[in-house]
Amino acid sequence: MSDSAPTAGQNIQVLRKTLGWGQEHLARRMGISASLLRKIEDGTRTATPPTVAQAAKAMGVSTARIYGTPFSDPGEAQGLLDALRLTVRRHTLPREDVPALDKLAAGLAEAAQLRADTRYLELLRKLPKLLEQASAVALQAGGDATAWGQLADLYGCAYAVAHRLGQADLSDMIVSRQQWAAQRTWNPEAEAGAAWNEAGTYQSAGEYSDGLAIVDRAIVRYEQGGRTDTPEAAVALGSLHLRGVVLASRAKDHNAWAAHHEHAKAFAERFPGGDVLRHNLTFGPGNTALYELAAHVELGRPDKASEMAEPLMRTPPAGLGASRIGRLCIDTARARLDLNDIRGAEAALKRAHEVAPQMAEVHPMAREVLRVLFILHQRSRPDLINLAKRSGLMPEL
């Protein structure tokens, strides 16, 4: 998907120099040591999400500016994103007629599967037409909750693509459309799914406290609105708590992360047979374990994360799709790299490229881990060279 696109660590250096700042000055504004910033810029330490948030705040730019786009070739991906952006902007003016409902249902199911499989380009090719068809159905159906729920779920698929491809402005616009559709369903699960993505936009922007506020508000709203003892409620509330786990761990709020984690574990116990998928939210004991592992990495406990990863990598939990297994591999690679387990990190990253190649090629943390691995005396390793080429990193390294 990329020809040549810099990573977050490289962009920090470029932006710093554009401002005319030295490393000591930026490091001081970020609240980190100059030696750590030097390592981040030269590629011997990864630019973690909290570090990117600190750099963005210090330099007065968005985190999206630092992450950049994961591809530099203005080819098919960019053209497809432009088509999606136009469709989302014209959300009440669909240019497609109302399709046969069985055909639309098949298209929606295919979109959900493509999202779960992280096949982003294939999904992008289908989204504009599908969104317009689903919009036409919902607008004609008036107050039909099912039609609006389908549209809300489809916007959830669109958000996943825009978010993963580094399109912050498009992600924000999609979330507003998803909320618009979800509010017409009278379905609290659809609204929870929209809130989960809304909090995700704050997470991507490094605004962790605000994201936690969105999560807490959505949980209270759901709990006040009806029953919480159903499987649907467990998925909605459990997923919101998992979003809280990530936000709290990146904010280094140990109390909040522990509280969200305990609530998520309690809801996950209702699914002893494995994780389930509802409204594009995967929830159960497996995904809860993956979020706990990721939180340990963010909280500076890579040894605990690596220990958890061993059985999960060996036998992935039932019910998890490629997007979740790929993320497990990326978090495992980061934890092992923090422990200076170079070969273990390389093995985990290779696994990520095997199970979720399109995600691994563009995921900011996967690209940062690969950059560090490549620089740390790994230039002669053919597999790393191949991964670097696929991820568009070779011209810069």
pLDDT value at residue 69? 80
- Count, residues in the chain: 397
Point out which residues pair with 283 in neighbouring strands.
Answer: 276
Domain assignments of the chain as residue spans, ordered by start: 1-68, 72-186, 187-299, 325-397
Q: What is the mean pLDDT of residues 214-239?
A: 95
DSSP code of residue 55:
H
Query: Which region holds residue 207: left if phi is over 0, alpha if psi is between -120 and 50, else beta?
Result: beta
pLDDT value at residue 4? 60
pLDDT value at residue 2? 42
Class of domain 1-68: mainly alpha
CA distances from 122 to 351, 358, 360 (A): 22, 10, 16
pLDDT-derived band at 124, boundaries 50, 70, 90: very high
pLDDT-derived band at 146, boundaries 50, 70, 90: very high
CA distances from 70 to 198, 322, 348, 366, 368 (A): 22, 20, 20, 11, 11
pLDDT value at residue 335? 98
pLDDT value at residue 396? 47
Element (H, E) at 281: strand 281-283
pLDDT value at residue 397? 47
DSSP code of residue 7:
-
50-109 confidence digits (pLDDT tens): 999 999 999 999 999 999 887 655 567 889 999 999 999 999 999 999 999 999 999 999
Q: pTM of the entire structure?
A: 0.93
338-378 confidence digits (pLDDT tens): 999 999 999 999 999 999 999 999 999 999 999 999 888 65
Give me the chain's average pLDDT, please. 93
Here the tokens at position 176 are 């507003």
Point out which residues pair with 282 in neighbouring strands.
Answer: 277
pLDDT value at residue 76? 76
pLDDT value at residue 326? 97
Reply yes or no on whether the pLDDT at 391 is more than 90: no
* Separate counts of helices (H) and strands (E) for the chain: 21, 2
Here the tokens at position 311 are 């059985």
Identity of residue 106:
A
Contact 40, 50 (CB under 8 A): no
Here the tokens at position 374 are 């490549």
pLDDT value at residue 1? 41
pLDDT-derived band at 135, boundaries 50, 70, 90: very high
Reply yes or no on whether the pLDDT at 160 is more than 80: yes
Rg (CA), the chain: 21
CA dihedral sign of residues 212, 217, 223, 226: negative
CA distances from 187 to 142, 146, 205, 292 (A): 15, 9, 28, 29
pLDDT value at residue 74? 53
Here the tokens at position 99 are 């399709």
Q: Per residue in 116-151, is it b (16+ CB within 10 Å) or e — as a string? A: bbbbbebbbbbbbbbbbbbbbbbbebeeeeebbbbb
Contact 2, 388 (CB under 8 A): no
pLDDT value at residue 394? 60
